[in-house]
C-alpha cells in the first residue's frame, strides 16, 4: 500500500518508514539501501567497462548511479539498465558498439537486488558466456532483455521460474549477422516457457530450438501473450490443428526463416482473430492460400513470401481492409497479372503500401488497375515474365518509393511523362529487360529523392543526358552496365559524390578517364567500369573505402601505385586484367589485409613476383604478362588460395615445395612458361581439392606422377608439350571425376565472390575453348591432355574406365601397339586425338560406339586395315586418317582389298541415325557448353547472387553501412523491408 501524505508527514510516519526499510535487512544511506549498494559494487567488479560507463558508480547514493533506478516508495533498486547506448546494428559501423560494449562476468551479487523488476543488459558483449542460472531467482523480474549481448550456450530453464515476467528478449540475430560471431543460444526443451504465466512479449530470434514439437502448445498456455517473435529458430514444424486455441490477445506472430515444412498453412491460425502481424515467410508451407485467411480482419501485415505456396490468391485477401503489407514473393501464382484484378479491387486497393510479387511466374502486361493502388510505396514485380511497357495509369502511383521491375521482358520505351511523375521514387530498378529508346533528363528531372538507379542490361536502352545537366538527386547506386551510354565519359555523374556503387561496365564508353573522376568519387566502394575502351592512368588517390576496383578490359596504361597497399586498405577485389599496364607487381599488394581476388592478367607486367604474400587471398591471376623468375615461396603460405593462374609468362625454375601449403587449391595453371624439373609427386598428396591442373607448354621432365589420379575432384589435366617421358600410368584409369558423366554443374570455385568469375581455357577439338564458372559449366568439362611429350609404351586399357571423359589428347608422343579396344567404352568422348604416335594395327571396331565423338584425329601413325564401316568413324574428313598408309575404306581413297565394287561407302541408314544421336548431343553441348564459351567476366553471376547483392545493397544504402558479405550469407528477405 502506498503511503499517502496529504499534509506534512508526521514524525511517526517517518519512523515507520525507517523501520520498514530496516526490516528489509538493510539500512538506507541517502536514498539507497546499503546492502543493495554493496551488491551493485560487487556486480560492477565483475564487469569489464572500458569506456567507464559505470564511472558514476561511486558514492553512497546508488539510486543516482547511471542505469540504476530505485523505487520512489521503498528505496529499493527496481531497475538496472546497462544497455549499450551504441547498439549493434547491421547498418552502422561496429566501432562505437565495440568500444562501448561491456563484458566480463555476471556475478550473482545481482541477487542482492531483491526488488529488481527490470533488467536490460542488451547490446553488450559477454564473449559467449552463458546466461547465469541465478537469473531465474530474481523473482520480481518483469522485464528481461538479454538480446544481442554476446551471451551464448544453453538458455537456463530456470528463467521459466520467473512467473511475473512480462517481457523477455533473447534475440540473438544481430550477432549472427554483424560479423559471423556466433555465440549461439540454444534451448533443448522449451517446456519451461509455459511457466512464464505473465508473459506478454517473447522474442527469441535466432535461438536454436532443439525439440519444437510442442512449442506452439506451450505458447498456447500463456494466457497473456501478445507478441511472439521466433524468427530463425530452426523450428521444424507447427501443429496442423490445436484442440483449443487460447491465443486471445496474440497480435504478432513471426515464425519467419524457420524450417517449417507443412502441407498447408494450419487452419487454427485463422481463428486467432486478434492477429495484426503474421509473418510465415521463408519456410516450406505448401498448398494454396486458404480463403479463410479473410477471417483475420485485423491483419495489417501478412508475409508469406518464399514458401512453396502456389495457386490463386483468394479474393478474400483483397477484403482484409487494414492490410498494408502483403508479401507473396516466390509463390507460384503463374497467372497473367491482369487476372489478379479481382483481388486488388477489394478494400485493400487504397490501403496497400507494400506489395511483393517477385518471382511469382506472372505473365502478360502491366494492367491499368495497378494505377489504382494509390498508397503503394513499395512494389516488387521483379523476376516475372511481364511484357510491354509502363501503362499510363502507373503515373497515378505518386507515393511509390521503391519499384523493382527487373528480370522481366518489358519492351518498348519508358515514357517520360509516367516515370517523371513518380516523384517519391527512391529505388528504381528496371534492369534485365528489353527496354529501348532513350532515358533523358525529362525522365529523371523531378525525381529528387532517387538513390538507386539500375537500368543495366537493357541493351537497346540509351542513357543520355546533356553533359552539363546537374541532376536533382544524389545517387548512392548507379548501374548502367550493358546500356548504351555513348562514347563520351558521362559527365553528369560528376556531382554524384555520394555514390558508393558505380557500375558502368560494357557501356560503350571510348574516352579518357576524366581527372575529376577520382576526386569526385571519394565515397565509391564498388566500382566497375570494365569492358569499355577507357584510357588513362590508374588512380593513386581513390577512395580509401573502395572494396571492388574493376577496371578490366579497358585501355588503361601506366603502373600500379606502389603504395596501393596503404592507399586502399579496404580493397577486397582488384580486377585490372586486359589493359596495358606495365612495371612491377608491387609488393605493397601484400599489405592488403582483406583482399580476396587479385587479377592482373593480360597486361604487360614484368619483373619478378614479390615474395611477401600473406592474408586471405583466394584468387591470384597474373597470367599473360611478362613476369620472370620463380614462384615465390610465400605463395605457399596462402592457405585459402583456391586459384593460382601464372600461365603465359616467362617464369622459370621448379615448382617450389612450399606450394604444398596451398592445401585449398582447386585450380593450378602454370602453363606456357619455362618451368623445369619434375612434376612433383606431392601434388597428388597435398592438394586434395585440386580440380584443374594445367602445366602445358613448359619444360617439365621425368615421369608423370602416378598418384595424380588420387585427386578425387581432378577433372581437367593438361600436361601437354613438356619433356615428360615414361609410360602413361595405368592408375590414370582411376580419376574419379572422369569416370562418370558429370551432370550437375557446380562452381569450381565454390563460395567465391559474384564479382569475380573464374574462366578457363581448355584445348579441345583442336581449338582453344574458354569455359566460364559462373553457371558451373566449367565443372562439367573433363579433359586429359598428355600430348607433345616423349611418352612411350601402349595406351593403357585402363583409360577405358574414364566413361565421363570428354576430351583425350595423347598426340605427338611415341605410343605404340594397337589402340586398345577399351577406348570404345569412353562413351562421353567428344574429342579424341591420337595423332603423331606409332600406333599400329587396326582401328578397333568398338570405336564405332563413340557416338558423341565430333572430333577425331588418328593421323600420322601406322594404323592399317579397314576403317570400321557403317559408323560415325566415316563421317570425319579424310585428314583424320592421313599418314596411315595401311588404312583403307571410306573416307580414305584407298580401297580395301576384297572389296566388291561400291562397298566401303557408308551405309546411309545407320549413319544417319548415328548422326541424329550426335546431333542431339551436340545441341546439348551447344546450349550447355558452347553458349558459355564466351562467358568471361560475367558481371552478375547467377540470379540468386544478384538478389543477394541487391538486398545487401538495400540494407546498406539506407543506413550507410555495408555488410555485403555477411548479409549475403544470411537469408536476405528479412532485410528487404527494413529500410522502408
Ligand atoms: C521516481 O520519481 C521521479 C520523479 O517524480 C520519476 O521521474 C521516476 O520515474 C520515479 N521512479 C520510479 C522508479 O518510479
Ligand atoms: C489455455 O490457457 C490456460 C491458462 O490460461 C491453460 O491452463 C490451458 O491449459 C490452456 N489450454 C490449452 C489447450 O493449452
Ligand atoms: C513487346 O513484346 C510483345 C510480346 O512479345 C509484342 O507483341 C509487342 O509488339 C512488343 N512491343 C514493342 C513495342 O516492341
Distance from the CA of 388 to the center of ligand 3, in angstroms? 6
Among 386-395, 521-530, 599-608, 655-664, the least confident range: 521-530
Among 410-424, 509-523, 594-608, 669-683, the least confident range: 509-523
pLDDT at 947 over 60: no
Beta strands at 580-583 and 103-104: parallel, antiparallel or unpaired: unpaired
Among 10-19, 254-263, 694-703, 855-864, the least confident range: 10-19
What average pLDDT does range 346-353 have in this prediction?
94
Whether 893 is in the pocket of ligand 2, judged by its Cβ within 6 Å, is: no
pLDDT value at residue 15: 43
Cα–Cα dist 867/890, whole Å: 7
- Going by pLDDT thresholds of 50, 70 and 90, the confidence category of residue 285 is very high
- Going by pLDDT thresholds of 50, 70 and 90, the confidence category of residue 87 is confident
pLDDT at 959 over 70: no
pLDDT at 554 over 70: yes
pLDDT value at residue 5: 39
Work out which ligand 2 atom sits closest to the CA atom of 223: 5
0.85 cut: is pTM over it?
Answer: no
What average pLDDT does range 359-365 have in this prediction?
95
What average pLDDT does range 760-769 have in this prediction?
84
Work out which ligand 1 atom sits closest to the CA atom of 71: 13
Work out which ligand 1 atom sits closest to the CA atom of 69: 13
Q: Best substitution site from 36, 72, 142 to test ligand 1's pocket, by max atoms within 8 Å of Cβ?
A: 72
Whether 434 is in the pocket of ligand 3, judged by its Cβ within 6 Å, is: no
pLDDT digits (tens, 9 = 90+) for 765-788: 888 888 887 777 888 889 999 999
- Going by pLDDT thresholds of 50, 70 and 90, the confidence category of residue 912 is very low
**Alpha helices, DSSP H, located in 729-868:** 736-739
pLDDT at 936 over 90: no
Cα–Cα dist 861/856, whole Å: 13
Q: Best substitution site from 221, 268, 272 to test ligand 2's pocket, by max atoms within 8 Å of Cβ?
A: 221
Among 666-680, 803-817, 932-946, the least confident range: 932-946
pLDDT at 925 over 70: no
pLDDT value at residue 176: 64
pLDDT value at residue 539: 81
Cα–Cα dist 283/419, whole Å: 36
pLDDT at 923 over 70: no
What percentage of the chain reaches a pLDDT higher than 70? 87
Cα–Cα dist 857/836, whole Å: 9
Residue appearing with cell numbers 595406351: 795
Closest Cα to residue 504, out of 409, 519, 515, 521?
521
Mean pLDDT of the chain: 85
Cα–Cα dist 957/476, whole Å: 7
More confident residue, 921 or 854: 854
Give nearest CA residue, ligand 2 atom 13.
244
pLDDT digits (tens, 9 = 90+) for 431-452: 999 999 999 999 999 999 999 9
More confident residue, 947 or 335: 335
pLDDT value at residue 177: 63
Residue 870, number of CB atoms within 10 A of its CB: 17
Among 69-73, 760-764, 814-818, 825-829, the least confident range: 760-764
pLDDT value at residue 318: 95
More confident residue, 668 or 180: 668
Distance from the CA of 411 to the center of ligand 3, in angstroms? 6
Q: Best substitution site from 163, 219, 220, 222 to test ligand 2's pocket, by max atoms within 8 Å of Cβ?
A: 220
What percentage of the chain reaches a pLDDT higher than 90? 67
| Ligand closest in space to the Cα of 388 | 3
Distance from the CA of 740 to the center of ligand 1, in angstroms? 76
Among 9-18, 101-110, 295-304, 347-356, the least confident range: 9-18
Residue 127, number of CB atoms within 10 A of its CB: 15
Cα–Cα dist 919/930, whole Å: 14
Whether 583 is in the pocket of ligand 3, judged by its Cβ within 6 Å, is: no
pLDDT digits (tens, 9 = 90+) for 239-253: 999 989 999 999 999
- Going by pLDDT thresholds of 50, 70 and 90, the confidence category of residue 401 is very high
What average pLDDT does range 785-798 have in this prediction?
96
Cα–Cα dist 368/391, whole Å: 6
pLDDT value at residue 88: 76
Cα–Cα dist 738/720, whole Å: 18
675 SS3 class = strand
Distance from the CA of 32 to the center of ligand 1, in angstroms? 14
What average pLDDT does range 128-135 have in this prediction?
94
pLDDT digits (tens, 9 = 90+) for 824-834: 999 899 999 99
Q: Best substitution site from 389, 409, 412 to test ligand 3's pocket, by max atoms within 8 Å of Cβ?
A: 412
Whether 73 is in the pocket of ligand 1, judged by its Cβ within 6 Å, is: no
Cα–Cα dist 756/571, whole Å: 14
- Going by pLDDT thresholds of 50, 70 and 90, the confidence category of residue 183 is low
| Ligand closest in space to the Cα of 408 | 3
How far does CA 488 lie from the centroid of its chain? 34
- Which bin fits 153, alpha (ψ -120 to 50), beta or left (φ > 0)? left
Contacts of 92 (CB under 8 A, 6+ apart): 959, 960, 961
Cα–Cα dist 832/518, whole Å: 52
* Nine cell digits for residue 508: 560503350
pLDDT at 219 over 70: yes
More confident residue, 92 or 36: 36
pLDDT value at residue 760: 84
What average pLDDT does range 535-551 have in this prediction?
86
Partners of residue 537 on adjacent β-strands: 557
pLDDT at 305 over 80: yes
Amino acid at each position: 500500500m502506498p503511503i499517502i501524505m496529504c499534509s506534512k508527514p508526521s514524525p511517526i510516519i517517518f519512523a515507520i518508514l525507517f523501520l520498514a526499510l530496516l526490516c528489509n535487512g538493510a539500512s538506507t544511506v541517502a536514498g539507497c539501501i546499503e546492502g543493495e549498494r554493496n551488491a551493485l559494487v560487487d556486480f560492477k567488479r565483475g564487469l569489464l567497462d572500458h569506456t567507464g560507463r559505470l564511472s558514476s558508480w561511486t558514492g553512497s547514493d546508488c539510486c543516482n548511479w547511471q542505469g540504476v533506478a530505485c523505487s520512489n516508495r521503498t528505496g529499493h533498486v527496481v531497475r538496472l539498465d546497462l544497455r549499450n547506448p551504441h547498439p549493434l546494428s547491421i547498418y552502422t559501423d561496429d566501432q562505437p558498439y565495440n568500444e562501448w560494449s561491456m563484458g566480463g562476468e555476471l556475478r550473482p551479487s545481482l541477487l542482492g537486488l531483491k526488488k529488481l523488476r527490470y533488467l536490460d543488459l542488451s547490446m553488450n558483449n559477454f564473449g559467449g558466456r552463458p546466461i547465469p542460472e541465478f537469473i531465474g531467482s530474481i523473482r520480481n523480474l518483469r522485464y528481461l532483455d538479454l538480446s544481442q549481448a554476446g551471451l551464448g550456450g544453453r538458455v537456463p530453464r530456470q528463467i521459466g521460474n520467473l512467473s511475473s515476467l512480462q517481457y523477455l528478449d533473447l534475440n540473438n540475430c544481430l550477432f549472427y549477422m554483424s560479423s559471423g560471431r556466433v555465440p549461439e543460444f540454444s534451448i533443448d526443451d522449451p517446456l519451461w516457457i509455459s511457466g512464464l504465466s505473465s508473459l506478454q512479449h517473447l522474442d527469441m530470434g535466432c535461438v536454436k530450438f532443439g525439440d519444437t514439437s510442442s512449442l506452439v502448445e506451450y505458447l498456447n498456455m500463456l494466457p497473456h501473450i501478445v507478441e511472439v517473435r521466433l524468427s530463425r529458430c530452426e523450428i521444424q514444424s507447427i501443429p496442423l490443428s490445436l484442440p483449443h486455441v487460447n491465443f486471445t490477445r496474440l497480435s504478432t506472430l513471426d515464425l519467419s526463416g524457420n524450417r517449417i515444412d507443412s502441407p498447408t498453412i494450419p487452419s487454427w491460425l485463422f481463428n486467432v482473430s486478434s492477429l495484426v502481424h503474421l509473418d510465415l515467410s521463408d519456410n516450406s508451407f505448401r498448398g494454396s492460400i486458404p480463403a479463410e485467411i479473410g477471417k483475420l480482419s485485423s491483419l495489417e501485415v501478412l508475409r508469406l513470401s518464399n514458401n512453396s505456396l502456389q495457386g490463386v490468391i483468394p479474393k478474400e485477401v483483397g477484403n482484409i481492409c487494414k492490410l498494408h503489407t502483403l508479401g507473396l514473393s516466390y509463390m507460384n501464382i503463374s497467372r497473367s497479372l491482369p487476372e489478379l484484378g479481382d483481388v486488388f479491387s477489394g478494400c485493400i486497393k487504397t490501403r496497400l503500401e507494400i506489395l511483393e510479387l517477385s518471382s511469382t511466374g506472372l505473365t502478360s502486361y502491366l494492367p491499368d488497375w495497378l494505377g489504382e493502388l494509390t498508397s503503394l510505396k513499395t512494389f516488387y514485380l521483379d523476376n516475372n515474365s511481364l511484357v510491354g511497357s509502363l501503362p499510363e495509369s502507373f503515373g497515378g502511383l505518386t507515393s511509390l518509393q521503391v519499384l523493382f521491375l527487373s528480370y522481366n521482358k518489358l519492351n518498348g520505351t519508358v515514357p517520360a511523362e509516367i516515370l517523371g511523375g513518380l516523384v517519391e521514387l527512391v529505388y528504381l530498378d528496371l534492369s534485365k529487360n528489353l527496354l529501348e529508346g532513350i532515358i533523358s533528363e525529362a525522365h529523371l528531372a523531378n525525381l529528387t529523392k532517387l538513390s538507386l538507379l539500375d537500368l543495366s542490361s537493357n541493351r537497346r536502352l540509351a542513357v543520355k543526358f546533356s553533359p552539363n545537366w546537374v541532376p536533382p538527386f544524389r545517387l548512392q547506386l548507379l548501374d548502367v552496365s550493358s546500356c548504351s551510354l555513348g562514347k563520351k565519359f558521362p559527365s553528369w555523374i560528376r556531382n554524384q559524390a555520394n555514390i558508393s556503387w558505380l557500375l558502368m561496365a560494357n557501356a560503350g564508353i571510348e574516352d579518357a578517364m576524366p581527372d575529376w573522376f577520382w576526386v569526385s568519387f571519394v565515397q565509391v566502394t564498388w566500382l566497375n567500369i570494365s569492358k569499355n575502351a577507357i584510357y588513362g592512368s590508374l588512380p593513386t588517390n581513390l577512395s580509401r573505402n573502395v572494396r571492388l576496383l574493376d577496371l578490366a578490359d579497358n585501355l588503361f596504361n601506366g603502373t600500379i601505385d606502389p603504395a596501393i597497399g596503404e592507399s586502399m586498405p579496404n580493397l577486397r577485389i582488384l580486377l585490372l586484367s586486359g589493359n596495358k599496364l606495365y612495371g612491377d607487381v608491387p609488393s605493397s599488394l601484400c599489405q592488403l589485409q582483406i583482399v580476396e581476388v587479385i587479377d592482373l592478367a593480360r597486361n604487360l607486367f614484368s619483373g619478378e613476383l614479390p615474395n611477401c604474400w600473406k592474408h586471405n587471398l583466394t584468387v591470384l591471376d597474373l597470367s599473360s604478362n611478362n613476369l620472370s623468375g620463380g614462384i615465390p615461396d610465400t605463395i605457399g603460405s596462402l592457405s585459402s588460395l583456391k586459384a593460382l593462374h601464372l600461365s603465359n609468362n616467362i617464369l622459370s625454375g621448379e615448382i617450389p615445395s612450399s606450394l604444398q601449403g596451398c592445401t585449398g587449391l582447386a585450380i593450378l595453371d602454370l602453363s606456357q612458361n619455362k618451368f623445369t624439373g619434375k612434376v612433383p609427386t606431392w601434388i597428388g598428396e597435398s592438394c586434395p581439392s585440386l580440380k584443374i591442373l594445367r602445366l602445358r607448354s613448359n619444360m617439365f621432365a621425368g615421369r608423370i606422377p602416378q598418384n595424380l589420379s588420387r585427386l578425387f575432384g581432378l577433372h581437367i589435366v593438361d600436361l601437354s608439350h613438356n619433356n615428360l617421358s615414361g609410360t602413361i600410368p595405368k592408375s590414370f584409369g582411376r580419376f574419379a571425376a572422369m569416370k562418370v558423366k558429370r551432370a550437375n554443374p557446380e562452381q569450381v570455385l565454390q563460395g567465391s565472390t559474384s564479382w569475380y568469375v573464374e574462366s578457363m581455357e581448355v584445348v579441345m577439338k583442336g581449338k582453344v575453348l574458354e569455359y566460364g564458372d559462373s553457371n558451373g559449366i566449367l565443372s562439367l568439362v573433363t579433359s586429359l591432355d598428355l600430348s607433345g611429350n616423349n611418352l612411350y609404351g601402349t595406351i593403357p586399357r585402363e583409360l577405358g574406365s574414364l566413361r565421363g571423359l570428354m576430351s583425350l589428347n595423347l598426340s605427338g608422343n611415341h605410343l605404340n601397339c594397337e589402340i586398345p579396344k577399351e577406348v570404345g567404352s569412353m562413351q562421353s568422348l567428344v574429342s579424341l586425338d591420337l595423332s603423331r604416335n606409332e600406333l599400329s594395327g587396326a582401328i578397333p571396331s568398338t570405336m564405332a560406339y563413340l557416338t558423341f565423338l565430333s572430333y577425331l584425329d588418328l593421323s600420322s601413325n601406322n594404323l592399317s586395315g579397314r576403317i570400321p564401316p557403317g559408323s560415325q568413324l566415316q563421317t570425319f574428313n579424310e585428314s583424320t586418317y592421313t599418314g596411315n598408309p595401311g588404312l583403307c575404306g571410306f573416307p580414305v581413297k584407298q580401297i580395301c582389298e576384297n572389296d566388291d565394287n561400291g562397298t566401303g561407302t557408308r551405309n546411309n541408314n545407320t549413319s544417319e541415325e548415328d548422326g541424329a544421336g550426335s546431333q542431339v548431343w551436340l545441341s546439348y553441348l551447344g546450349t550447355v557448353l558452347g553458349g558459355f564459351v564466351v562467358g568471361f567476366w560475367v558481371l552478375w553471376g547467377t540470379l540468386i547472387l544478384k538478389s543477394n547483392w541487391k538486398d545487401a545493397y538495400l540494407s546498406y544504402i539506407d543506413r550507410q553501412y555495408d555488410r555485403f558479405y555477411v548479409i549475403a550469407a544470411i537469408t536476405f528477405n528479412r532485410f528487404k523491408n527494413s529500410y522502408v
